[in-house]
Amino acid sequence: MLEPNIAGAAPLDRRRPIRALPDGLISQIAAGEVVERPASVVKELLENALDAGATRIELRLEEGGVRRISVTDNGGGIAPGELGLALLRHATSKIVSLDELEEVATLGFRGEALASIASVAQVTITSRLAGAEHASQIEGDHPAAAPVAAAGAPGTVIEVRDLYANIPARRKFLKSTATETAHCLEALRRVALAHCEVSFTAYVDGRRVANWPAVSWAQRALAALGEEFADAHHVIDAGSALLGLRGLVGLPTASRTRADRQFFHVNGRFVRDRVLAHAVRQAYADVLHGDRQPVYALALTLDPRLVDVNVHPAKIEVRFRDQQAVHRLVHHAVRDALRGAAGAAAGPAAGPGAAVRQRLDWPAAMPGWGAGMAGGTQSRLELGQPQQSYGSGAASANFGSPATEPGSAAPPLGYALGLLNGAYILAQAADGLIVVDMHAAHERIVYERLKAQHDAQSVAVQPLLIPATLRVDAVTVAGVEEQAETLHALGLDCSVLSPTSIAVRSVPALLGAADPVELARAVLAELFTHGTTNTIEEQRNELLATMACHGAVRANRQLDLHEMNALLRQMERTPGADQCNHGRPTWLRVTMAELDQWFLRGQ
């Protein structure tokens, strides 16, 4: 029986025999997974160059990579007798056994990229081993032919021309030349960010558009994020040799409307992973305003046996053996970096929340680092505990003692001069003027104190008079049984009633007014998706933030200098005090240099 002809397609004859597909068609099908657009080719060729040990890589593009892509490296090269094999499907020098596949440490390993590219474009490989008299060259159309002698420096040049020339339908799905060029350069940026020891140069239609010399990891990260983040970031160096995280995270006040400056690498490979993205987003939850997107460049390192990189043809997705441990490390490391006290480690020209740099033992210091920053040994967790930072009452305007009196070394936020329009505290710091939003700053102080008090106690539970039931699938039922201890620690008592239903018997007392069914659904969904959940903490924090807002000192409340100074000192000891609970800045600095410029002093 013939199926109907849909959109002009030839009818499918169910009586056709089963037969093996031709090698050419198999390669083109694989190319559809691996070679999505010219940027996909750029990524694969760059990764091959890095795996070959290159320290200098040059990328050339013509017409967005559709007409020509060329990648030149100074790596180890390919032996003449292996050039033809490089173009065969599933031929690779990077793995030889299942054991090596399970702990793969190279960027490329599937052995299909070059074959897939050669099936949809014209490919020429020119390579020369160190010490060889000349280079050898082979064409992708004739992989079985003997390579010919050619001119070339030690290393490899792979040239890809006329992408999708033999598949015109695929070309129709490509965007404009400018868009495809931008995607290719973004692929270069992602690779270069994780390999700071390698220099990269890029040319577009003969014009040099990028030149990244070998530098420290922090310098390369700033080059990737943009110079506007030079004084608007925190440094992270957390974990251990078995599971470590390092990188830069942008200040909440330096967030963007688009998620176009978010880079996450796992063992040197750029990835998009929902567990990692969720952990970072949750870390910013308390300090990011509205729908703004955080900026970060983070690198996770772990034992290759604990991560599966072979879950996607383009190798852009990964799967962790212990995703809870990974989520926990990323979330806490980023959150701790963002929760610096107001004015901590602020440089002389720093704005609100200027980079709080933790100790970082990288090869070279970043430009602009002060001597005290590079050699400091005090970690973020040692800068003071929340319970040591607050006055007596949430709603009280009695801020306690200012702690530091004039005459000693000036504290980061200086000393109060007065109150502007009943809303802004003006303070004199060592290098200029500090302006503090009085209500926003006190709101953060009260909020952090309420959280600390609540965290210091065990979670109070409110039993439900009538248990709430909800219908679920078999996977959720199994998950409830497996995660019983986790749910209990959150104050959520769930029990299985049947293969298709569960009962909610208690909820956290602070969320007693919440819908228990919707609360349970949200917690379970997040727990099963990300391996952890912040739903209860988020809802609790929303309630505490509301309480803090009502308990904070209001505008037009006249404070004396003693109270203003006490508030400044508390800001300097309160985690996250650079932003209020809604992500807005609580203070800013106007330096003497800026004031002199405004009034044309010295000009």
- Report residue 190 as tokens: 């992602």
306 pLDDT above the threshold of 60: yes
What's the rounded Cα separation, in Å, for the pair 344 and 394?
Answer: 24
Task: Report the pLDDT averaged over residues 478-488.
Answer: 83
Please give the single-letter amino acid code of residue 63.
E
| Cα angle for residues 549, 550, 553 (degrees, 5° grid) | 80
What's the rounded Cα separation, in Å, for the pair 443 and 545?
Answer: 8
Q: What is the radius of gyration, based on Cα positions, of the chain?
A: 29
**What is residue 72's predicted lDDT score, i.e. its pLDDT?**
97
For residue 576, what pLDDT band results from cuts at 50, 70 and 90? confident
For residue 109, what pLDDT band results from cuts at 50, 70 and 90? low
What's the rounded Cα separation, in Å, for the pair 226 and 219?
Answer: 10
Please give the single-letter amino acid code of residue 370.
G
Q: Do residues 439 and 555 touch, judged by C-beta distance below 8 A?
A: yes
Higher pLDDT: 530 or 413? It is: 413
C-alpha torsion sign, points 585, 587, 592, 594: positive
The pairing of strands 307-308 and 493-498 is unpaired
6-15, 382-391, 396-405, 546-555: least confident range? 382-391
**What is residue 347's predicted lDDT score, i.e. its pLDDT?**
31
- Report residue 298 as tokens: 């983070």
What's the rounded Cα separation, in Å, for the pair 504 and 463?
Answer: 9
DSSP string over 73-130: E-S----GGGHHHHTSTT--SS--SHHHHHT--SS--SS-HHHHHHHHSEEEEEEE-T
**What is residue 178's predicted lDDT score, i.e. its pLDDT?**
94
Higher pLDDT: 319 or 542? It is: 319
**What is residue 483's predicted lDDT score, i.e. its pLDDT?**
82
For residue 402, which of 425, 380, 374, 424 has the smallest C-alpha distance? 425
Task: Report the pLDDT averaged over residues 116-132.
Answer: 92
Q: In the predicted model, what is the mean pLDDT of the chain?
A: 80
Task: Report the pLDDT averaged over residues 48-68.
Answer: 95
315 pLDDT above the threshold of 60: yes
114 pLDDT above the threshold of 70: yes
Note the pTM of the prediction, 2 decimals: 0.69
174-183, 253-262, 509-518: least confident range? 509-518
Q: Do residues 50 and 191 touch, judged by C-beta distance below 8 A?
A: yes
The pLDDT tens digits of the residues spanning 402-421 come to: 554 545 578 999 999 999 98
The three-state secondary structure class of 445 is helix
| Cα angle for residues 429, 433, 438 (degrees, 5° grid) | 95
What's the rounded Cα separation, in Å, for the pair 115 and 77?
Answer: 18
**What is residue 312's predicted lDDT score, i.e. its pLDDT?**
66
400 pLDDT above the threshold of 70: no
| Count of Cβ atoms closer than 10 Å to residue 381 Cβ | 12
Q: Do residues 269 and 319 touch, judged by C-beta distance below 8 A?
A: no
What's the rounded Cα separation, in Å, for the pair 109 and 105?
Answer: 9
| Cα angle for residues 358, 374, 360 (degrees, 5° grid) | 45
**What is residue 184's predicted lDDT score, i.e. its pLDDT?**
96
10-14, 129-133, 402-406, 537-541: least confident range? 402-406
Beta bridge pairs of residue 57: 73, 200
**What is residue 389's predicted lDDT score, i.e. its pLDDT?**
33
What's the rounded Cα separation, in Å, for the pair 371 and 347?
Answer: 11
58 pLDDT above the threshold of 50: yes
Residue with tokens 């929303």: 542
DSSP string over 480-527: HHHTHHHHHHTT-EEEEEETTEEEEEEEEGGGTTS-HHHHHHHHHHHH
SS (H, E, C) 397-409: CCCCCCCCCECEC
Q: Do residues 247 and 226 touch, judged by C-beta distance below 8 A?
A: no
What's the rounded Cα separation, in Å, for the pair 132 and 543?
Answer: 71
**What is residue 418's predicted lDDT score, i.e. its pLDDT?**
93
Task: Report the pLDDT averaged over residues 592-599.
Answer: 91
Task: Report the pLDDT averaged over residues 149-166.
Answer: 93
**What is residue 371's predicted lDDT score, i.e. its pLDDT?**
26
Task: Report the pLDDT averaged over residues 469-475.
Answer: 88
The three-state secondary structure class of 575 is strand
**What is residue 365's predicted lDDT score, i.e. its pLDDT?**
27
For residue 339, what pLDDT band results from cuts at 50, 70 and 90? confident
Higher pLDDT: 10 or 79? It is: 79
52-61, 330-339, 361-370, 531-540: least confident range? 361-370
For residue 540, which of 285, 275, 284, 274 has the smallest C-alpha distance? 285
Higher pLDDT: 596 or 556? It is: 596
Q: How far apart are the first and last CA of the chain?
A: 90
The three-state secondary structure class of 238 is strand
Q: DSSP label at 388? A: G
385 pLDDT above the threshold of 60: no
Residue 498 burial (10 A CB sphere; 0-12, 13-18, 19+): exposed
Report CA dihedral (145, 146, 150, 156) to the nearest 10 degrees.
Answer: 80
**What is residue 547's predicted lDDT score, i.e. its pLDDT?**
61
Q: Strand (E) positions, 330-423?
A: 415-420
What's the rounded Cα separation, in Å, for the pair 511 and 462?
Answer: 9
The pLDDT tens digits of the residues spanning 454-468 come to: 777 776 788 999 999
What's the rounded Cα separation, in Å, for the pair 273 and 276?
Answer: 5
The pairing of strands 122-128 and 587-591 is unpaired
- Report residue 150 as tokens: 């050619």
For residue 362, what pLDDT band results from cuts at 50, 70 and 90? very low
Q: Do residues 459 and 490 touch, judged by C-beta distance below 8 A?
A: yes
Higher pLDDT: 33 or 572? It is: 572
The pLDDT tens digits of the residues spanning 10-36 come to: 565 667 788 887 877 776 766 666 688
For residue 115, what pLDDT band results from cuts at 50, 70 and 90? confident
For residue 311, what pLDDT band results from cuts at 50, 70 and 90? confident
What's the rounded Cα separation, in Å, for the pair 468 and 583?
Answer: 35
Task: Report the pLDDT averaged over residues 564-578.
Answer: 91
The pLDDT tens digits of the residues spanning 192-238 come to: 999 999 999 999 999 999 999 999 988 888 888 887 888 888 899 99
Q: Do residues 91 and 82 touch, judged by C-beta distance below 8 A?
A: no
91 pLDDT above the threshold of 60: yes
**What is residue 100's predicted lDDT score, i.e. its pLDDT?**
59
What's the rounded Cα separation, in Å, for the pair 45 and 61?
Answer: 13
Please give the single-letter amino acid code of residue 228.
E
**What is residue 13's predicted lDDT score, i.e. its pLDDT?**
61
Task: Report the pLDDT averaged over residues 38-46.
Answer: 94
The pairing of strands 296-302 and 262-266 is parallel
Q: What percent of the chain has pLDDT over 90?
A: 38
- Report residue 479 as tokens: 């998950």
**What is residue 12's predicted lDDT score, i.e. its pLDDT?**
57
Task: Report the pLDDT averaged over residues 504-509.
Answer: 87
**What is residue 451's predicted lDDT score, i.e. its pLDDT?**
81
For residue 394, what pLDDT band results from cuts at 50, 70 and 90? very low
